[in-house]
């Protein structure tokens, strides 16, 4: 299925309530998919989950029902949607992002939860350990803190005179806080000056970028659902402020971030499909270890580089998995 067709199909699925489906669908196992941000924020990843489920025999409307809900990066909305899935008595909840997993875990201790991506599952209390998650939650770790220093090194290759680094992050998202602290630690080791600005709501974005304008040499974006929902606006403001940007998610590079380096999200979502399959067939989440990324992508946006008047080193372009031009 083409990605555009998939997006149209899923967008339509969010409109119709579960009761509006064919009568026989009510007897099928139900997967509640809680999108922490928006469909467009994971449009490259979600089809991989659905395709893997199809390969394993779980076809929406035939052998399973998938109910989609979208929180648009709002923590209170995540809690509402998680509670809705509990009332619907879905068989399993799939979500992504630390805040969404926390909200879902608070809503139920019995319905299995699979996270397709979460920053630091142990450090943020989502699971007891990676090998033995315990409880009703399992999934795939992003290792964001482990790769934060790598992103900073990549940024220094593009901005060799980097001395002042601005960081934007949502301080209400535990995973984002952990990554921000790791960036600050790595920056200190490199002798860089850092300034962190908290983004708790949409209205904080423009003032944060205005503060960084002229006061920083580059911008490190710590991704969470709120920032993902506004990635286009963030990138427009960053280019206007003449700030080279880096982050961990490819969708940001598609929206104009200069460099993204992090786990391959479609691969994570595909592997989440394997976990969902095992749980639907009787395995308990507590018996499924949290998995870690095995594929990482380096994306360089040459259009943004040109807009900023930057020259990307050939050595970096040669190692990039994709160059957007």
Task: Show me where the domains of the chain are located.
Answer: 3-142+264-296, 144-263+297-324
What are the Cα distances from residue 11, in Å, to 32, 50, 69, 98, 230? Answer: 15, 14, 10, 24, 19
Q: How far is 92 from 108, CA to CA, in rounded Å?
A: 11
User: Can you name the residues that pair with 315 across neighbouring β-strands?
Assistant: none
Note the pLDDT tens digit of each residue in 230-248. Answer: 999 999 999 999 999 999 9
Confidence of residue 10 (pLDDT cuts 50, 70, 90): low
What global pTM score does this model have?
Answer: 0.85
Model pLDDT, residue 147:
87
| CATH 3.90.1150.10 for domain 144-263+297-324 | no
Note the pLDDT tens digit of each residue in 88-110. Answer: 999 999 999 888 999 999 999 99
Model pLDDT, residue 142:
87
User: Does the pLDDT value for residue 5 go beyond 80?
Assistant: no
Fold match flag (3-142+264-296 vs 144-263+297-324): yes
Q: Sheet with 164-169: list strands edge to edge.
A: 193-198, 164-169, 218-221, 245-247, 259-263, 296-301, 322-324
Written as six digits, the tokens of 315 are 């050595």
Of 128, 125, 103, 137, which is closest to residue 175 (Cα–Cα)?
Answer: 125
For all residues of the chain together, what is the average pLDDT?
91
What are the Cα distances from residue 292, in Å, to 132, 177, 264, 287? Answer: 14, 20, 11, 16
Give 237's DSSP letter. Answer: H
Q: What's the CATH fold of domain 3-142+264-296?
A: Rossmann fold (3.40.50)
Model pLDDT, residue 139:
98
């Amino acid at each position: 299925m083409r990605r555009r067709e998939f997006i149209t199909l899923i967008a339509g699925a969010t409109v119709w309530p579960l009761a509006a489906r064919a009568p026989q669908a009510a007897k099928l196992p139900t997967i509640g998919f809680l999108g922490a941000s928006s469909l467009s924020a994971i449009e490259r990843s979600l089809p991989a989950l659905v395709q893997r489920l199809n390969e394993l025999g779980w076809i929406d409307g035939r052998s399973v029902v998938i109910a989609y809900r979208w929180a648009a990066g709002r923590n209170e909305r995540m809690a509402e949607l998680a509670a809705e899935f509990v009332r619907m008595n879905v068989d399993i909840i799939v979500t992504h992002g630390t805040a969404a997993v926390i909200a879902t875990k608070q809503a139920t201790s019995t319905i299995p939860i699979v996270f397709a991506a979460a920053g630091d599952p142990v450090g943020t209390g989502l699971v007891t350990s990676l090998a033995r998650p315990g409880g009703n939650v399992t999934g795939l770790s992003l290792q964001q803190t482990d790769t934060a220093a790598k992103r900073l090194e990549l940024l220094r290759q593009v901005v060799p005179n980097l001395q002042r680094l601005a960081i934007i992050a949502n301080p209400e998202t535990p995973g984002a806080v952990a990554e921000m602290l790791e960036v600050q630690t790595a920056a200190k080791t490199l002798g860089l000056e850092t300034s962190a600005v908290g983004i708790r709501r949409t209205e904080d974005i423009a003032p944060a970028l205005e503060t960084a304008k002229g006061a920083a040499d580059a911008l490190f974006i710590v991704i969470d659902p709120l920032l993902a929902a506004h990635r286009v606006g963030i990138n427009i403001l960053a280019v206007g402020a003449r700030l080279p940007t880096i982050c961990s998610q490819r969708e940001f590079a598609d929206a104009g971030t200069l460099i993204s380096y992090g786990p391959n999200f479609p691969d994570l979502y595909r592997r989440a499909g394997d976990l969902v399959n095992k749980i639907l067939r009787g395995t308990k989440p507590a018996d499924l270890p949290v998995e870690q990324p095995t594929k990482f992508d380096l994306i360089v946006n040459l259009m943004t580089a040109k807009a900023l008047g930057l020259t990307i080193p050939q050595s970096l372009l040669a190692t990039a998995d994709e160059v957007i031009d």
